Amino acid sequence: MTSETATNKSRVIIFDTTLRDGEQSPGATMTFEEKLEVADLLDALGVDVIEAGFPIASEGDFEAVSAIAKRVKRASVAGLARAAYKDIDRCAEAVRQAVRPRIHTFISTSPLHMKYKLQKEPDEVLAMVSAQVARARNHVADVEWSAEDGTRTEMDFLCRCVEAAIKAGATTINIPDTVGYTVPDEYERIFRTVIERVPNSDKAIFSVHCHNDLGLAVANTLAGLNGGARQIECTINGIGERAGNAALEEVAMALHTRADVMPYTNNIDTTMLTRASRLVSAVTSFPVQYNKAIVGRNAFAHESGIHQDGMLKNAQTYEIMTPESVGVSKTSLVMGKHSGRAAFRSKLKEMGYELGDNALEDAFKRFKDLADRKKIVYDEDIEALADDEIGHTGERIRVEALTVIAGTMGPQTATLTLEIDGKSVTKQATGNGPIDAIFNAIHALAPHTATLEHFQVHAVTEGTDAQAEVSVRLAEDGKTVNAKGADPDTLVAAARAYIAALNKLMVKRKKTKPEAMGQVG
Ligand code: KIV
Ligand code: ZN
């Protein structure tokens, strides 16, 4: 306990157990090097206590706790120990070199655990509490004692154990909700009652430790503070036994965001939360669910048009925290089928496009159509669309509709409707393949002498639902023009590209041969 935490009644100690309770979750094992990396980040993040492992559990755990104790500059380093002298002595050896070493020792106190797990009478357990804490105090000044399954322990017995632990020298008393069974009101009441009834309770800091079996770990944690606890045990990303522990990032941001109703202070640098989350996810290979509070990839992303519109006017309309406050560079307006005009216009502007009202309206319609067909609309899709739209502004010929029949049973047929100088005209043509059929239809509707010099298709983004971008070069009388067309349908993109090239050709003709401008072909 630092002098600041001892005297400041609103200061909350953040005790991180990612490397102990977190690492205990099935499949979350970390290597020695990964544990050191996580410990360094936790220290930089500002946690007060790093529970580095369970030294008696294995040689590897012992080595990791010792190495972390040696290297961590600021935080206390704790090791876990059962109620056995050999556990406590081994733990003491592991944390010995820490700037602030802590031994965290525990024993079950609930009737169920004492009877079936420990097979001991309550008085035997009580005697062990005093003995184990005293043993730990012989090694270090900072001793935490936990009443395992505390929330299912009889209140009288819990109070007797807590009093004995403090008397034997425990400086922190943890009442864990080991099985994630309690609810906020009850947990708050447990702390209030114990603190009121235990005569020496003012000599220790009380701690919450919540598991998430009912999804209540963070709510219970915060309720424990209201009951008088001033240490929070938690893990990055909420990893831990079964459904996990209270998530550090959620607790920290709840305290940060709602300081008006929870006037507690702590030392966490919230701007490092995202980094910490990513590191723990990477080393454990536990993915972070997309909609996870604070660090999920959707936590600061908006797709719905109404929300995007609100966000563009004032971010506080739909965000209670800034992305920067948790280390995310900015809010992302995900462009999808729910996005509205305002977000689309803002996205184009951000990408450097300024479209006129008509072009914007056209581009927006095409974007909506694309978003209906495609799972993810990438920036490259919007770019292709905007380029396409700019290329088509002021054109005399536009593609209105296209139907193609293709496949093994030729001939391939294209039915094409073009708008030429404001008039719709339709033609059906066949060809040697669908592209040939389309170009023949174009020829029939807009006769011209230009020849096709180059035709290339490429996918704008990855995936089978990617937009196609077709590039076309036409040549006529020594003049060449290049144009592009984009669409999720390669054939439509081809028609658009060819028509764009024809339009360009007409502009070129106008410049060199004004009398030819009147004729489309
Ligand atoms: O959940 C629990 O009870 C624990 C103790 C060892 C503190 O993790
Ligand atoms: Zn636990």
Comparing 394 with 253, which gets the higher pLDDT?
253
Q: What is the pLDDT of residues 305-337, one digit of tens each?
A: 889 888 888 889 988 999 999 998 777 788 888
Q: Which atom of ligand 1 is nearest to the CA of 245?
A: 1
Distance 178 CA to ligand 1 centre (A): 6
pLDDT at 305: 85
Whether 142 is in the pocket of ligand 1, judged by its Cβ within 6 Å, is: no
- Average of per-residue pLDDT across 479-501: 88
Q: Percent of the chain having pLDDT more than 70?
A: 95
pLDDT at 514: 44
Residue 292 and residue 299 in contact, taking contact as beta carbons nearer than 8 Å = yes
Q: Is 46 exposed, middle or buried (0-12, 13-18, 19+ CB in 10 A)?
A: middle
Query: Does the structure show a pLDDT above 50 at 136?
Result: yes
* DSSP secondary structure letter of residue 20: I
Neighbours of 120 (CB within 10 A): 17
pTM: predicted TM-score of the whole model, two decimal places? 0.75
Q: Which atom of ligand 1 is nearest to the CA of 211?
A: 1
pLDDT at 517: 42
Whether 227 is in the pocket of ligand 1, judged by its Cβ within 6 Å, is: no
By C-alpha distance, which of 247, 502, 472 is closest to 398? 502
- Residue ranges per structural domain of the chain: 15-259, 395-509
Query: Does the structure show a pLDDT above 50 at 53?
Result: yes
Residue 425 and residue 445 in contact, taking contact as beta carbons nearer than 8 Å = yes
Given pLDDT bands bounded at 50, 70 and 90, which one contains residue 521?
Answer: very low
Whether 206 is in the pocket of ligand 1, judged by its Cβ within 6 Å, is: no
Residue type, 47: V
Q: Which atom of ligand 1 is nearest to the CA of 179?
A: 1
Q: Which atom of ligand 1 is nearest to the CA of 150?
A: 3
Distance 289 CA to ligand 1 centre (A): 25
Q: What is the pLDDT of residues 400-455, one digit of tens each?
A: 999 999 988 878 999 999 999 889 999 999 999 999 999 999 999 999 999 998 89
Comparing 56 with 464, which gets the higher pLDDT?
56
Write the residue with the smallest CA distance to atom 4 of ligand 1: 178
Whether 467 is in the pocket of ligand 1, judged by its Cβ within 6 Å, is: no
Distance 173 CA to ligand 1 centre (A): 12
3-state secondary structure of 419: strand
- Average of per-residue pLDDT across 247-262: 98
Whether 146 is in the pocket of ligand 1, judged by its Cβ within 6 Å, is: yes
By C-alpha distance, which of 136, 115, 112, 134 is closest to 124? 115
Distance 7 CA to ligand 2 centre (A): 28
pLDDT at 516: 46
Neighbours of 291 (CB within 10 A): 10
Q: Which atom of ligand 1 is nearest to the CA of 149?
A: 3
How far is it, in rounded angstroms, from Cα 296 to Cα 455? 43
How far is it, in rounded angstroms, from Cα 435 to Cα 413? 9
Write the residue with the smallest CA distance to atom 5 of ligand 1: 148
Q: Is the peptide bond before 411 cis (omega within 30 degrees of 0)?
A: yes
Cβ neighbours of residue 98 under 8 Å, at least 6 residues apart? Answer: 68, 69, 70, 72, 76, 77
Token pair, residue 300, equals 């600061």
Class of the 395-509 domain?
alpha beta
Three-state SS string over 188-251 comes to HHHHHHHHHHCCCHHHCEEEEEEECCCCCHHHHHHHHHHCCCCEEEEEHHHCCCCCCECEHHHH
Three-state SS string over 346-399 comes to HHHHHCCCCCCHHHHHHHHHHHHHHHHHCCCCCHHHHHHHHHHHHHHCCCCEEE
| CA 86 to the chain's CA centroid | 42
Ligand nearest to the CA of 231: 1
pLDDT at 513: 53
Distance 399 CA to ligand 1 centre (A): 68
Q: What is the pLDDT of residues 506-520, one digit of tens each?
A: 877 765 554 444 455
Q: Which atom of ligand 1 is nearest to the CA of 174?
A: 7
Comparing 471 with 86, which gets the higher pLDDT?
86
Q: What is the pLDDT of residues 198-218, one digit of tens each?
A: 999 999 999 999 999 999 999
Write the residue with the smallest CA distance to atom 1 of ligand 1: 178
Residue 262 and residue 228 in contact, taking contact as beta carbons nearer than 8 Å = no
Distance 263 CA to ligand 2 centre (A): 26
Q: Which of 15, 88, 148 for a ligand 1 pocket mutation test, highest count of atoms within 8 Å of Cβ?
A: 148
If phi > 0 it is left, if psi is from -120 to 50 it is alpha, else beta; for residue 53 that is left
Instruction: Sort strands 397-405 and 205-210 into parallel, antiparallel or unpaired.
Output: unpaired
How far is it, in rounded angstroms, from Cα 246 to Cα 233? 7
Comparing 510 with 498, which gets the higher pLDDT?
498
DSSP bridge partners of 451: 475
Q: Which atom of ligand 1 is nearest to the CA of 241?
A: 1
Query: Does the structure show a pLDDT above 60 at 263?
Result: yes
Q: What is the pLDDT of residues 366-388, one digit of tens each?
A: 999 988 887 778 777 888 888 77
Write the residue with the smallest CA distance to atom 8 of ligand 1: 21
Homologous superfamily of the 15-259 domain (CATH): Aldolase class I (3.20.20.70)
Cβ neighbours of residue 361 under 8 Å, at least 6 residues apart? Answer: none
Q: Which atom of ligand 1 is nearest to the CA of 233?
A: 7
Distance 328 CA to ligand 2 centre (A): 29
Query: Does the structure show a pLDDT above 50 at 1?
Result: no
Give the DSSP H or E segment for 511. helix 490-512
Whether 209 is in the pocket of ligand 1, judged by its Cβ within 6 Å, is: yes
Given pLDDT bands bounded at 50, 70 and 90, which one contains residue 6?
Answer: low
Mean per-residue pLDDT of the chain: 91
Q: Percent of the chain having pLDDT more than 90?
A: 67
